Amino acid sequence: MTLSRVNVALSVLLAAMLLAAWAIRVDPQTPNWEFLPDMQYSPAPEALGSSGSFPDGRAWQPSPAETIAREQMPLHYAATAADAIRAGEELVSPIAKDDAKARAAGAAVYRVNCAMCHGPQGHGDGPSTKRGVPPPPSFITGKSVQMKDGQLMHVLTYGQGGMAPFGTQLTIGERWQAIAYVRELQAQGAAAAQPAAAPAVTEPTNVSPAAPSERDKP
């Protein structure tokens, strides 16, 4: 007897649940109910959204006049060959030659931004050159060996021929780091090109290419 009572109770419960499900009719298109949505909605506006906090109603405010955002120091050159030469005369890398940390950071910048075209060792044979991108000149044998650091900065910032400008992708610090790493690749390339003769071992200073020591001369 008790069993049939349980069955009746369960049937009633099932009917009540079906009725409730029909009454609620969950619509998968609409969001669920929110219960205590305390932190669901942040008062912080989206960068490109609007904000009542400023007179112009914009969330993202332009920099105040006569200020420069950190790491966004502008260079004042035109994207011309003449200004590339001028940049070579005027701009000096802030990275010391023995700054291994900056060169390691430059290696990371290079790996991500340059190696696909210029190749891991700077020979101008990156993977993209096998797929239609015109191969860039070698850093080891090309004219970049003679170019001053500031001129490389001009190439990196404003581009040159088939090379796109990186002025907006990389901070100026990252560009200097990449240049420091290009110098390291050039030193390695020059060392590898040396015949394995005794003088290269006894006079290791001869191993570095002309450009880095040239640019140190006043």
Q: Considering only the stretches 61-69, 130-138, 187-195, 200-208, report the one whose residues sit in contact with ligand HEC under the rule CB under 6 A.
A: 130-138
Distance, in Å, from the CA atom of 178 to the CA atom of 80, rounded to the nearest integer, reads 21
∠ CA 49-53-58, rounded to 5°: 30
With CB under 6 A as the contact rule, the residue among 84, 119, 144, 176 that binds ligand HEC is 144
Query: Could you tell me the sign of the dihedral formed by the alpha carbons of 83, 70, 215, 149, in that order?
Result: negative
- Within 8 A by CB and 6+ apart from 206, the residues are 194, 199, 200
With CB under 6 A as the contact rule, the residue among 81, 143, 200, 214 that binds ligand HEC is 143
Distance, in Å, from the CA atom of 213 to the CA atom of 37, rounded to the nearest integer, reads 64
- Binders of ligand HEC among residues 146 to 185 (CB under 6 A) are 152, 155-156, 160-163, 166, 178, 182
Contact 150, 172 (CB under 8 A): no
Residue 117, interface with ligand HEC (CB under 6 A)?
A: yes
CB of 149 to ligand HEC, least distance (A): 10
Nearest to ligand HEC by Cβ — which residue? 161
- DSSP readout, 3-14? HHHHHHHHHHHH
Q: Considering only the stretches 10-18, 42-50, 63-71, 110-118, report the one whose residues sit in contact with ligand HEC under the rule CB under 6 A.
A: 110-118
- Contact set with ligand HEC (CB under 6 A): 113-114, 116-118, 128, 133-134, 136-137, 142-144, 152, 155-156, 160-163, 166, 178, 182
